[in-house]
Amino acid sequence: MNRESLSFQASGRPKAQATAEEFRKRYGDASVAECDVIVAIGGDGFMLETLRANMMSGKPVYGVNCGTVGFLMNPYDLEGLAERIAEAEAAVIHPLSMTAATTDGRSEAARAINEVSLFRQTRYSARLKIIVNGKTRMESLTCDGVLVSTPAGSTAYNLSAHGPILPISSHLLALTPISAFRPRRWRGALLSHDAHVRFETLEPDLRPVSAVADNLEVRFVSAVDVREDRSIAMTLLFDKGQSLEERVLSEQFDN
């Protein structure tokens, strides 16, 4: 990989900014429009920001960890970056498309790389109807919330909510409740990646609900439609032997 083909993007944290300058001095720096690979320096949150900002570009993104968890990132190593990128293993992921209708008649659209989540806004629990592919699957779910996760996002908030970890190549989505009260024993469902999931809020005046696509929030929703958007493909690069598929598999055996 030519050094001029790398574009270094860093989060606002001082450590990430300093690391980016080290890389720029060693490898040069191209613009995003002219580069072959975007190098995102920061944590998982900044990786998601970078993917969202360049979602339509088709440019692969290689992450360098300067954050905390770094599940989507590679370890920092100043030496041999171009060679590591040339030998990197690629993971192709697709975002979720969210369309949220609000109680005052507005409609807002957003995309999510990890998950689309619905949350109660007040002390009252949320009550939601769940419709999958046009068929009502649950007349009423009383809960703190519910989410639809991509395979890439299944090790993030979905896992914290006790949802299943999905292999990257599984062609599945996870539908996971958050603190379900009724039905108390419901643990969620696995859906085909092409499923159309619709949530309708019950008693929205008494029990207001917000919808969040990764970090973009729409408040006071009346209905939310979620589906995978296969028209968009994002490529993440991982050091050889450390593919995203391997990381997801390892997570399932982590004690």
Domains of the chain: 3-93+232-251 (3.40.50.10330), 96-228 (2.60.200.30)
**CA dihedral of residues 197, 44, 107, 178 (deg, nearest 10):** 50
Share of the chain above pLDDT 70, in %: 98
Share of the chain above pLDDT 90, in %: 87
What does the pLDDT look like over 65-105, one tens digit per residue? 997 778 899 999 999 999 999 999 999 999 999 999 999 99
Ranges in the chain, pLDDT < 70? 1-4, 254-255
How confident is the model at residue 4, as a pLDDT? Answer: 54
Catalytic residue (choose from 29, 36, 44, 77): 44
- What radius of gyration, in Å, describes the C-alpha atoms of the chain? 20
How confident is the model at residue 249, as a pLDDT? Answer: 81
Residue 228 corresponds to which tokens in the numbers above? 């995978």
How confident is the model at residue 3, as a pLDDT? Answer: 53
Write the CA distances from 218 to 108, 199, 214, integer angstroms: 7, 14, 11
How confident is the model at residue 114, as a pLDDT? Answer: 95
205, 129 contact by CB (below 8 A):
no
Q: Is 138 helix (H, G, I), strand (E, B) or coil?
A: strand
How confident is the model at residue 1, as a pLDDT? Answer: 41
- Does 44 qualify as catalytic in the annotation? yes
Neighbouring C-beta atoms of residue 234, cutoff 10 Å: 22
Cα of 197 vs its chain's centroid, Å = 17
Q: Measured between alpha carbons, how far is 255 from 253 in angstroms, rounded to an integer?
A: 6
Q: Measured between alpha carbons, how far is 138 from 131 in angstroms, rounded to an integer?
A: 7
